[in-house]
Amino acid sequence: MTDGILGKAATMEIPIHGNGEAGQLPEDDGLEQDLQQVMVSGPNLNETSIVSGGYGGSGDGLIPTGSGRHPSHNAAPAGPGDEVARGIAGEKFDIVKKWGINTYKCTKQLLSERFGRGSRTVDLELELQIELLRETKRKYESVLQLGRALTAHLYSLLQTQHALGDAFADLSQKSPELQEEFGYNAETQKLLCKNGETLLGAVNFFVSSINTLVTKTMEDTLMTVKQYEAARLEYDAYRTDLEELSLGPRDAGTRGRLESAQATFQAHRDKYEKLRGDVAIKLKFLEENKIKVMHKQLLLFHNAVSAYFAGNQKQLEQTLQQFNIKLRPPGAEKPSWLEEQ
């Protein structure tokens, strides 16, 4: 099943003992987080649809709802401004009321699913794809972490080889009897540094591309998934509400409530269907983009690492040219150590 709000909603059951009492529920740290997720988007009271021009005024802005009044109008009778202020207060009250009702229904639905007492709408194929995406993202995050560690180690190796090459070159000048030996070791370290800088450039490009794929492309799709999961919970909450009303008595009062519940249910159903379609489309495009990006990056990584450890400087440079990678020398504001030699 998926993580987050819908985690284990349809599979969790209350164990029943021989005496008919419900046993102790297993600890579930995700339940509290799921409830917090339901409550996370509170009502927005900063903006309302009623402005000062709404009653024939100038329309310069919102009328404040505070109790303070202008000193020159303390004894003045209620005017259009007071009516607008009352209208804004009433609108904000309606917003809070609707948010409270929606939060109550969703929390009730979530708990009924979690305790195995309610039903939930399931798109098995889509939820399997979502779970696969989350698992893929976790694995790619691990690759990203290892890639960053590799760049850090390569950079440290380059610094050591740089210092060692300088030490060999210095000793070559000061040790005539070992000048040749120190000299070719210094040249070897220079060559290793040059190849190492090329490899580091390739690995940095690989890591940067994986980072974009994980933190932007995949995360954008998962944000839509979260919206879809929240819409699914709301849809089922209002579906359950409508079903309960449909089973009740039919009189003048309940008919009106039933029609209102039907309209609200249809609105949430439309929202759920739209987001389900959005998720399906994003998952499809994400898979296509992932294959395209990773095909290029894995080929780059393989060719660069193979050429480096084979000591094939020409192939290493050709690999970077093939993927249009430009090296950024250590210390962007000054030439690299190799250019100074």
Q: What is the pLDDT of residue 282?
A: 96
pLDDT at 311: 85
Q: What is the pLDDT of residue 254?
A: 76
Rounded (5°) CA angle 89-94-95: 95
pLDDT attached to residue 44:
54
For residue 76, what pLDDT is reported?
A: 53
Q: pLDDT tens track of the chain, all 341 residues? A: 434 433 433 333 333 233 333 334 444 556 556 656 655 555 555 544 443 333 334 434 333 444 444 444 454 555 666 766 666 766 676 677 676 777 777 777 677 777 777 788 888 999 999 999 999 999 999 999 999 999 999 999 999 999 999 999 999 988 889 989 999 999 999 989 999 999 999 999 999 999 999 999 999 999 999 999 999 988 888 888 888 888 877 777 777 788 888 898 899 999 999 999 999 999 999 999 999 999 999 999 999 999 999 888 888 888 888 888 877 655 554 444 333 33
The sign of the dihedral angle between the CA atoms of 110, 113, 119, 121 is: positive
Cα separation, 102 vs 141, whole angstroms: 36
Question: Distance between CA 130 and CA 284 in Å, rounded?
Answer: 11
The shares of helix, strand and coil residues in the chain, as percent rounded to the nearest 5, are 75, 0, 25
Rounded to whole angstroms, the Cα distance separating 135 from 129 reads: 10
- Residue 247: how many other CB atoms lie within 10 Å: 7
Residue 80's pLDDT is: 64
Distance, in Å, from the CA atom of 174 to the CA atom of 228, rounded to the nearest integer, reads 72
Which amino acid appears at position 47 of this protein? Answer: E
Residue 271 has a pLDDT of 94
